[in-house]
Amino acid sequence: MKKTGILMPVSALPSTTGVGELGWASYQWIDIMKENGVKIWQILPLNPVGFGNSPYQPYSSCAGDELYISLDLLFEAGLLDKKPDKFRENAKRVDYTAVRAFKESYLREAFEKFVAGDGQKDPAYVDFMSQDWVYTYGVFRALKLDNNGDCWNDWKADYKNWSGDKSVLSENVEKEARYQCFIQYIFYTQWMAVKKYANEAGIEVMGDVPFYVGLDSVDVWSGKDNFLLDTDGRPIFIAGVPPDYFSATGQRWGNPIYDWDYLKKNKYKFWVDRIGYSNKLFDIIRIDHFRAFDTFWKIPASCPTAIDGEWIEAPGYEVIDTLNKELPGVNLVAEDLGELRPEVLELKDHYHLKGMRILLFSINTKGKYARDISNDIENVIFYTGTHDNDTLMQWYDGLTVAAKRKVREFLKKQGIKAGNIKDRLLTYVLKSKAEYAIIPLADIIGLGKEGHINTPGTVGSPNWEWHMVDFNKAKEELARYKNLIMNR
C-alpha cells in the first residue's frame, strides 16, 4: 500500500513557548495530517540535544529532551499553580538557550509538587523507574550539572567511573538525579499519549536513530567497553565520512567508534537495548547512516579533518539478525544516501529494508535534457529532500535559467503540466512507484532558505532552529494536495 508522509520536526511545531511541544500543537498537527490523508509523520531524534543543539549529538539514546514537554499539560495535571506565561510565541527560530532558561523554573516547580503529592509512589512512575537506563541517566545529568557542564571524561575518578554506588553522590546530586528522572517520566507520558493519538488516527510515527552516539553521553559514560576509548575515556578513533558532495575535507563528527569485538561477545546487547527502546516510541525506525552497518569510516582522533581515515567492515548481518530475533516485527528503514559500495545495498536488500531516494539528487540537468538518474522502484522512500538538504524551492531557485527550463520540460514529458513549479515537482514525487513518499513540511508550504533545517559539516546557528508560527499555510497547502495524497 502506498503511503504519504510528512517530515516535520517536533521542535518546529507552533507553540507559545518558542519551541514545539507535546501539547495542543502536536494533536492539532495530527488532525491536519489525518484530514489530508497523510499516513506517516516522520520526526527527527527527540533525545536531549548536545553540542550545537544537534539531535544527532544527544546526551542519551533513550531519554527525551525536556524542551518538548508541554507546560500547559503540566498545569492541567495540577503540577503548576498558574497557567504558564507566553514566551517567544511568534518566534521563527528556536532560541534553545533562552527557551531552556524560561522552562526550567516551571519544570522544577512541577517536580516539587509531584514529590509533595507522593507522585513517586504512583504505579506508573514506579514502573517507568524500573527501567535500567532511567536512574543512570538521571545521575549522569546531575553529575554533568555538578561539573559545570564538562564532558564526563574530565570529571574526577569517582564520577568518571561511577559504577552505581549511591554513597559517592552528594545529597544535591541525588536530588538533581531524581528531578531528571521525573522529567523523563513526564516526557515519556506526554510522548506516548501523542503517539497513541496518531496511531488511532491511522498515522504511523517514523523516528530517527543516529547510527553513532555522542561522546558526551550517558551511553558512553555508562558503557565505556562498547567503544574504542583510551584509559582516560577519550576516543582513540572517531566517526565521520570522507570528502563528499557536502564537504571537501569530509565530515569529522567526533563520535566514538564502536568496539565491535566487545559488542559481539555481549550478543550486541547495546544495539538490542537501544533499538528496543526506540521500538516502544516509534512505529518505524529510520537508521541514520545505515551504511556503517556494512563499512564505517575510521578516523584517528588526532586528525583535524576527516580526510585521513580508512573504511572498516562492520558485522551488519549479525547485528540485524540479532535485532530481528530479539525484536520480532521491528520495522527498520535505511538511510542509504551517498556514494556506497554495492555491498551496502545488498545488505539492505537482504532484509527487504526500504532505502531512500532524493528528488534533489535524482534530477540531473547537466545534459541536453533533464533526466531522472535514479530508479523508480517500489520498495523505497521517495523524498523531495531531507533535513540536510536545501528546501525544494531553494534548490530550484538556485538552478540556472537553462536548468530550470530543462526541469519544466522533463516534468511536461511525464505528463505533469498543471500548477506552479512546486505543484509539479510534488506531483512527480507523489505519483512515483515508491511505496512511501515523504515530503518535508517546508516543501509543502514552499519555503526557501528560511525553511532549511541543517547544513552538514557546520555547527550551531542557524542549524536546527526552524520554527513555525502557526499552521495556517500548512493547512491551506496540504488541502491543495489532498486528492494526490489520498489517491496514491
Q: Concatenated DSSP letters for 285-335?
A: EEEETGGGGTEEEEEETT-SSSSS-EEEE--HHHHHHHHHHHSTT--EEE-
Task: Tell me the one-letter amino acid at 129.
Answer: M
Query: Has 335 been annotated as catalytic?
Result: yes
Q: Which of 187-218 are b and which e, b meaning 16 or more Cβ less than 10 Å from the residue's Cβ? A: bbbbbebbbeebeebebbbbbbbbbbbbbbbb
Task: Tell me the one-letter amino acid at 226.
Answer: N
Cβ–Cβ < 8 Å for 31, 202: no
The catalytic position among 21, 208, 273, 388 is 388
Query: 363-364 and 436-440: which strand pairing?
Result: unpaired
d(CA 300, CA 258): 13
In sequence order, what are the residues at sequence separation of 6 or more whose Cβ sits closer than 8 angstroms to the Cβ of residue 382?
357, 359, 429, 432, 434, 436, 437, 438
d(CA 85, CA 70): 12
Q: Concatenated DSSP letters for 36-76?
A: TT--EEE----SPP-GGG-TTS-S-SS---GGG--HHHHHH
The catalytic position among 65, 288, 294, 465 is 288
Rounded to 5 degrees, φ, ψ at 186 are: -65, -45
Rounded to 5 degrees, φ, ψ at 416 are: -105, 100
Strands (E), 195-302: 204-210, 237-241, 251-256, 284-288, 295-300
Query: Has 388 been annotated as catalytic?
Result: yes
Residue 278, Cβ neighbours under 10 Å: how many? 23
The catalytic position among 21, 65, 273, 335 is 335
Specify the DSSP class assigned to residue 365.
-
Cβ–Cβ < 8 Å for 354, 381: yes
Task: Tell me the one-letter amino acid at 278.
Answer: S
Half-sphere exposure of 174 (CA within 13 A, CB side): 8
In sequence order, what are the residues at sequence separation of 6 or more whose Cβ sits closer than 8 angstroms to the Cβ of residue 98?
18, 87, 88
- Residue 293 in grid coordinates: 552497518
Query: Has 288 been annotated as catalytic?
Result: yes
Residues that are catalytic: 288, 335, 388
